[in-house]
Amino acid sequence: MQYIKNGMTRATRSLVGIGFSHLLAPLACRERAMVAEADVAGVLRSLAGRLGAAEVVLLSTCSRLEVYAASDDPEETLARARAWFLERAGAEIAPCLTGRLGEDALQHLFSVTAGLDSWIIGESEILGQVKRAYETARTAGLTGPVLNRAFQSAAAAGKAARAKTGIQHGIHSIGGAAAVLARSIFGESADGMTVVFGAGEAAQATVRHLAAKNFSKVLVANRTVERAEALAREIGGTGVSLERGLDLLASAEIAVFSVSCAAPVLTAEDLKRRVAGRNRPLFLLDLGLPRNIEAECAALPGVYLYNLDDLKGVVARSIAGKAGEGEKAALLVAEAGRACAAELDKAAARREGARQAAAV
């Protein structure tokens, strides 16, 4: 595990941050360790008791799993958190883990929230994901003066960095990257059928970007047909059931999967049956974590399967084009982090003064 320990001021010395991301951890490790959104609250409560920390937030996305805490014994909390990660993801995750203490943990949170630690610089989804992670912990009574200030300030800094720089120019979401890949597959013609499975954030972004790139035949498939229809109406598309969407794979050109699931929605055996007799390529984009499409599907004749890590190449040119804006945003975020640390120190000093006065 990498270990970063700097910036130990009066208040920030209680801060702990530990986790892994797409930068080091392969897709299979991230898939094994991730916490489904519906399970975060329960896992968080169990984790808080185990860490012995007064404040804990758990951030789980398709790109990262991180724990932030405020503790009277930060090094012990860090050690316990590391043990939790190893149990959840296996010993092979150890080289991918990075532990941070003090202001380094704070600055990392600010960088993550601004989308500067994402594989898409300025990624739009991460800001909402951080906010929801914080709100889940706050609702559970697991935040206090340190993490409240840290997460609220990080959200404000993330919004400001996006507003004051060009980090959101070009591709800034997984859905946008998926649409760019789809356009590269179709070339100049976008007349073939595209089926988007799911109606969450990534699926919504994909559908909207496809529409912006003049894809004329977009269908949205979802377990809840009403949600599929509502999203499809935005672009003049058609909403169908999940099963109907799977049936349409026989005639679709591209299918984008972004469904919340514990097991693959599409297995190799099922896909082989559905596309039997098909004599043209089928392109599948899997944006899910856990993955929506069984990896063995890629071995079927005429099937081309792309997952989240494959999209990195698609956005590389976009990232290179806005590197200068990323540097500007990093400076703004670093300054905001230092300001937050100073505010945490002042608040800690006020609390200490009040305690001493009460003891007299």
Contact 40, 23 (CB under 8 A): no
Angle at 23 between CA 255 and CA 20, to 5 degrees: 100
**C-alpha dist (Å) from residue 170 to 47, 186, 207, 319:** 38, 20, 17, 8
Contacts of 21 (CB under 8 A, 6+ apart): 63, 64, 66, 117
Give the active site residue among 62, 96, 297, 340. 62
Pairwise CA distance, residues 127 & 134, whole Å: 11
Give the integer Cα–Cα distance in Å for 332 and 90.
37
Cα distance between residue 124 and residue 129, in whole Å = 9
Q: For residue 297, indicate whether it is catalytic.
A: no
Which tokens go with 305? 């399967």
Q: Please tell me whether residue 147 adopts helix, strand or coil conformation.
A: helix
102 and 13 in contact (C-beta within 8 Å)? yes
Residue type, 254: I
Q: State the catalytic residues.
A: 62
